[in-house]
């Protein structure tokens, strides 16, 4: 949970971001975060592929990236928390579970040859639109599996982060009203 500043506003990297709805900020911050993460992962995989498996590289980069991703989310979405360390520690389980999900998915995709199968599929079905090497690439560096893993882990991260860092009711009356709204919605269904 983030604490508002003395004026009651979230402390984002710039006050103009408050004009943008929180879900849009979350999407933009997620895209930036994933771009940075995938750049680090792909670069690391390229340099460490002879020493470590793709899933091991993913796990290491994910672990190192937890504080970076948290800081980006705080600065652009929820506001800078006070105290920061408590907020970071509250999101570590999200990062670890996302890392586990991504590591298992990456290992699975590499073991079934997902990138090669996707490459063949694109060549055979969309040859005119295909941007890869039609003569056959020796190594695809997890191009397609990274995208699928990114989608899977992004959905999980969004749901878990909103549950942990999203705004909770501020007082008992607001909590009662929220419960009443949920009850009315359930009765309508």
Is the pTM here over 0.75, yes or no? no
CB 1 within 8 Å of CB 81 = yes
Residues 54-80 pLDDT 10s: 888 888 998 899 899 899 988 888 888
Look at residues 110, 187, 112, 103 and name the one whose alpha carbon lies nearest to residue 153: 103
The Cα 107–Cα 128 span in angstroms is 31
Joined together, the tokens standing for residue 1 give 């949970």
Residues 103-113 pLDDT 10s: 899 889 989 98
């Amino acid at each position: 949970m983030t604490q508002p500043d003395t004026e009651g506003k979230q402390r984002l990297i710039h006050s103009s971001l408050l004009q943008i709805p929180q879900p849009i900020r979350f999407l933009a911050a997620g895209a930036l975060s994933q771009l940075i993460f995938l750049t680090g992962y792909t670069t690391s995989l390229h340099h460490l592929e002879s020493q470590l498996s793709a899933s091991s590289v993913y796990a290491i980069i994910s672990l190192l990236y937890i504080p970076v991703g948290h800081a980006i989310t705080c600065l652009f979405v929820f506001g800078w928390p006070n105290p920061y360390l408590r907020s970071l520690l509250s999101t570590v389980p999200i990062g670890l579970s996302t890392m586990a999900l991504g590591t298992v998915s990456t290992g699975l995709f590499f073991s079934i040859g997902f990138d090669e199968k996707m490459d063949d599929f694109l060549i055979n079905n969309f040859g005119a639109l295909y941007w890869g090497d039609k003569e056959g690439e020796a190594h695809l560096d997890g191009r397609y599996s990274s995208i699928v893993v990114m989608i899977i882990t992004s959905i999980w991260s969004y749901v878990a982060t909103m549950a942990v860092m999203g705004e909770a009711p501020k007082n008992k009356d607001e909590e009662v009203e929220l419960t009443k709204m949920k009850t009315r919605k359930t009765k309508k269904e």
